[in-house]
Amino acid sequence: MRLILVRHAHCEKNLIGIPGGPGTPLTPLGKAQATSVAARLTTLSPVPSEIVAVPTIQTIETAQIVGARLSLPTVVPNELRSINLGVLSGISIEAARTSYPRSSESMDDWRNGVSEIADLRIQGMEDPFAFYGRGASYLLKAMDLANSATMVIVCTTSIMILLHNIHDRRSPVAGGGYRTRSYENGQLVDLIFSDEDRAWLLQEMKRHEIE
């Protein structure tokens, strides 16, 4: 299966550095970026057969602009919701550093590439194994259904990092190599998932009892 990951276009929360939360609408720049992404996707061969959006405001709006150009509806699966960052979700990075210094320090280590996802210690954060499991389960179903099709997923950063790490065969266990990555707004990442990738993922979930 060919999977095109698209980081959502520029949105209002990008202006003030707010991670997580329900999201915000696209800025005028973001709408222009989404239009540019749509034009790029029309040049693919074959043209994508499905447009999927992570359930946040900015990803859905980006996906709808892309879908309108490709004459495809936008599918919004709940399984692909972003990781819940607990007390850090939906507030600015600077405000979080004042109100939740220990959680923010752990998050800063993650952002700087010092730690793996297994090392994160954020108050109220979703269990990384649960996050990995629901994303991996969705991906396995998509691979079974899509076969040789091309799917586009408009992502938040956490979902983009998740799917990219799975492709590179990284797991959320300590020493599993699951680390952060950086993406620009509107950036495309083109991934191919093979039968061998699917077998690895199934084995990894079973080995670590990830559901």
Q: What local confidence, expressed as pLDDT, does residue 147 receive?
A: 61
Return the axis-axis angle of helices 128-146 and 157-167, rounded to nearest 10°.
70
Report CA-CA distances (Å) from 92 to 16, 33, 83, 125, 175.
7, 24, 16, 16, 30
Q: Give CA–CA dist 161/20, Å, rounded.
A: 14
* pLDDT at 209 (0 to 100): 86
> Can you tell me the mean pLDDT for 52-56?
97
What is the mean predicted confidence (pLDDT) over 70-82? 95
pTM of the model: 0.95
SS3 28: helix
Question: What structural domains and CATH numbers belong to the chain?
Answer: 2-85+127-207 (3.40.50.1240)
Mean pLDDT of 57-79: 96
